[in-house]
Amino acid sequence: MCLGMPGKVIEITEEDGLLMGKVDYSGSVSTTCLSYCGDVEVGQYVIVHAGFAISVLDEDSAKETLEYFRQMAEEAAKDGKDILDSPLSESGNT
Amino acid sequence: MKYIDEFRDSKIAKYLIGEIDKITTRHWVIMELCGGQTHTIVQHGIDQLLPKQIELVHGPGCPVCVTPLDVLDQAIEIAKMPNVIFTSFGDMLRVPGSTSDLLKVKSQGGDVRIVYSPLEAVKIAKENPAKEVVFFAIGFETTAPGNAMAVLHAQKEGLKNFSELVSHVMVPPAMEAILSSPSNRIDGFLAAGHVCTVMGYWEYEPIAEKYKVPIVPTGFEPVDMLEGIYLVIKQLEEENYHVVNQYKRSITREGNIHAQKSISEVYEVIDKNWRGIGEIPMSGMKIREKYKTFDAAQKFNVGSIKTDESSICISGEILQGLKKPNECPAFGNECTPVHPLGATMVSSEGACAAYHKYQRYHKVGV
Ligand code: SF4
């Protein structure tokens, strides 16, 4: 219940005076109350908890963090080995 | 950007583990406060990848696990009533009460229904005017906004047959209870990213200062958790004790003001009993007098229930970070997800369930 999930807002509607919408989690779509994120726009990502969006994710901040870490990881890899003194694996995501 | 895979990048994860390794000089105990984070740690083996001196312990961050037995027994009593449709999030159904659980009530003919949102329960009430519809409103600050909205919406719709059995708990008082305990061994916290998304993190600033403990509101993907751990260790090594926000894409200092307004409109703060831990002052919520017609505890007279807890279960110590699930003699023996003895095994977010799912039968680290 407590596991919040990021999903993409694909539709915004109003139902019985509540701001509702459809949120897509990589293919599975569910109806979500958007009332707590009044300024959300279609195409943005929200964190959804038990049927309610509680935040609109800030893409700039996410990109900035990832970009910084990627650069640092690459610098570390330039020495031919990573900081743990073992070769960096080429595998993608864990 | 889908906000999932990008934060599971193994190169970044490795880089962060290396950075943590570089700065760690001694033994530190870090507690994560959310069941979702416990799962990320165990699923990705983060505890095994970190330097040996870092010990991760799992806090009381599973709302199902800390819901007191007497409230569960109340829920079961209400669900048995003939005119009641009892609605709940799915993970409460199998949690053992003293003598039964909600799933058994359902199999014995009780009208118990799983909902994914409290608004579904309001809808069921609207469609069934002759029935009493009760929603089991449990959880941390993350589910409170939705549960508050359900009451506000039911009121707007003029529904007289909707009520909530409320057992809400709040994180900051639990942290203080852990920190002020004489047996406390926590050096730093990863605060729960979604609780902070709702409530902001300003409430944690005085705690960090008072107990000299770094607090890092953290997200749920491996890269988030590793960065969170790095930010805690860095502060500990440098003797800094502040709140540093790791999960900037979702959390602001003030949090979601609209959600907070609804919560305080509907609920008031009370002393609260936590399963396995005991009473923590000002750590729970109840429905305000103004909305008492929506309070199932007042509507249905199921006041004094005598509870009976399994004597083997050490989930209380696990929830306070004193022990790990695989230190429990019943773990994987008498107690499994199919036959759970305690709530930390039955809830998918519980630490015992996580250890069982990822087969952590042995202790790691120091
Ligand atoms: S393994 Fe079972 S009995 Fe032991 S602490 Fe966990 S829930 Fe309780």
Centroid of ligand 1 to alpha carbon of B143 (angstroms): 25
Instruction: Over range B172-192, report the average pLDDT.
Output: 94
Inter-chain residue contact B10 with A83, CB threshold 8 Å: no
Q: Are residues B190 and B54 in the same domain?
A: yes
pLDDT at A2 over 70: no
User: Given this model, what pLDDT does residue A87 score?
Assistant: 45
User: Given this model, what pLDDT does residue B36 score?
Assistant: 87
Domain of residue B331 covers: 315-357
Q: Are residues B319 and B220 in the same domain?
A: no
* Amino acid identity for residue B287 in this structure: I
Asked whether the beta carbons of B306 and B315 are under 8 A apart, the reply is: no
* Domain-terminating residue out of B308, B325, B345: B308
Cα(B246)–Cα(B227) distance, integer angstroms: 7
CA distances from B264 to B145, B287, B291 (A): 9, 10, 12
Is B122 a domain residue?
yes
User: Given this model, what pLDDT does residue B365 score?
Assistant: 45
Query: Does B218 lie at the interface with A, CB-CB under 8 angstroms?
Result: no
* Amino acid identity for residue B335 in this structure: C
User: Given this model, what pLDDT does residue A92 score?
Assistant: 36
Centroid of ligand 1 to alpha carbon of B96 (angstroms): 12
Number of domains in chain B: 2
Q: Are residues B17 and B70 in the same domain?
A: yes
Min CA distance, B38 vs chain A (Å)?
Answer: 11
First to last CA, chain A: 25
Quick check: helix, strand or coil at residue B165? Answer: strand
Min CA distance, B116 vs chain A (Å)?
Answer: 6
Confidence of residue A91 (pLDDT cuts 50, 70, 90): very low
User: Given this model, what pLDDT does residue B277 score?
Assistant: 82
| Paired tokens of A81 | 């080995």
Lowest pLDDT segment from A84-88, B177-181, B288-292:
A84-88
User: Given this model, what pLDDT does residue B308 score?
Assistant: 63
pLDDT (tens digit, 9 = 90+) per residue, B94-148? 888 888 899 999 999 999 999 999 999 999 999 999 999 999 999 999 999 999 9
Q: Are residues B136 and B260 in the same domain?
A: yes
Query: Best substitution site from B311, B314, B336 to test ligand 1's pocket, by max atoms within 8 Å of Cβ?
Result: B314
CA distances from A36 to B55, B119, B138, B156, B325 (A): 37, 14, 19, 17, 37
pLDDT at B307 over 80: no
Centroid of ligand 1 to alpha carbon of B259 (angstroms): 35
Q: Are residues B244 and B324 in the same domain?
A: no
Cα(B310)–Cα(B298) distance, integer angstroms: 28
Q: Are residues B24 and B147 in the same domain?
A: yes
Is B18 a domain residue?
yes
* Amino acid identity for residue A88 in this structure: L
User: Given this model, what pLDDT does residue B304 score?
Assistant: 61
Confidence of residue B156 (pLDDT cuts 50, 70, 90): very high
Is B214 a domain residue?
yes
Buried b / exposed e across A49-75, counting CB within 10 Å, b at 16+? bbbbbbbbbbeeebeebbeebeebbee
Lowest pLDDT segment from B6-20, B153-167, B230-244:
B6-20
Q: Are residues B149 and B61 in the same domain?
A: yes
Is B218 a domain residue?
yes
* CB of B345 sitting under 6 A from ligand 1: yes
Within 8 A of B44 by CB-CB distance, chain A residues are 94
Q: Are residues B340 and B286 in the same domain?
A: no
**Bridge partners, residue A36, by sequence:** none
Is B365 a domain residue?
no
Is B285 a domain residue?
yes
The residue ranking higher by pLDDT, B307 or B73, is B73
Helices assigned H by DSSP within chain B: 10-23, 35-43, 46-49, 63-66, 69-80, 102-107, 118-127, 144-156, 171-180, 193-199, 205-211, 222-237, 257-266, 296-299, 315-319, 343-346, 351-357
Atom index in ligand 1 nearest the CA of residue B318 equals 5
pLDDT at B37 over 80: yes
Q: Are residues B121 and B250 in the same domain?
A: yes
Lowest pLDDT segment from A75-79, B135-139, B196-200, B356-360:
A75-79
| Paired tokens of A90 | 């080429």
- Kindly report the backbone phi and psi dihedral angles of residue B55, in degrees, each rounded to the nearest multiple of 5, phi listed first: -110, 125
User: Given this model, what pLDDT does residue A84 score?
Assistant: 47
Number of Cβ within 10 Å of residue B316's Cβ equals 20
Min CA distance, B310 vs chain A (Å)?
Answer: 24
Asked whether the beta carbons of B253 and A66 are under 8 A apart, the reply is: no
pLDDT (tens digit, 9 = 90+) per residue, B337-364? 888 888 788 887 789 999 999 988 876 5
Q: Are residues B226 and B349 in the same domain?
A: no
Is B366 a domain residue?
no
Q: Are residues B115 and B192 in the same domain?
A: yes
User: Given this model, what pLDDT does residue A89 score?
Assistant: 44
Q: Are residues B300 and B319 in the same domain?
A: no
Is B182 a domain residue?
yes
Atom 3, ligand 1: which residue's CA is nearest?
B313
| Paired tokens of B211 | 């107990």
Query: Does B118 lie at the interface with A, CB-CB under 8 angstroms?
Result: yes
Task: Assign residue B64 the CATH number of its domain.
Answer: 3.40.50.11740
Task: Work out the percent of chain A whose per-residue pLDDT is above 70.
Answer: 81
Number of Cβ within 10 Å of residue B128's Cβ equals 15
User: Given this model, what pLDDT does residue B54 score?
Assistant: 97
User: Given this model, what pLDDT does residue B98 score?
Assistant: 82
Cross-chain CB nearest to B142 (options A38, A54, A70): A54
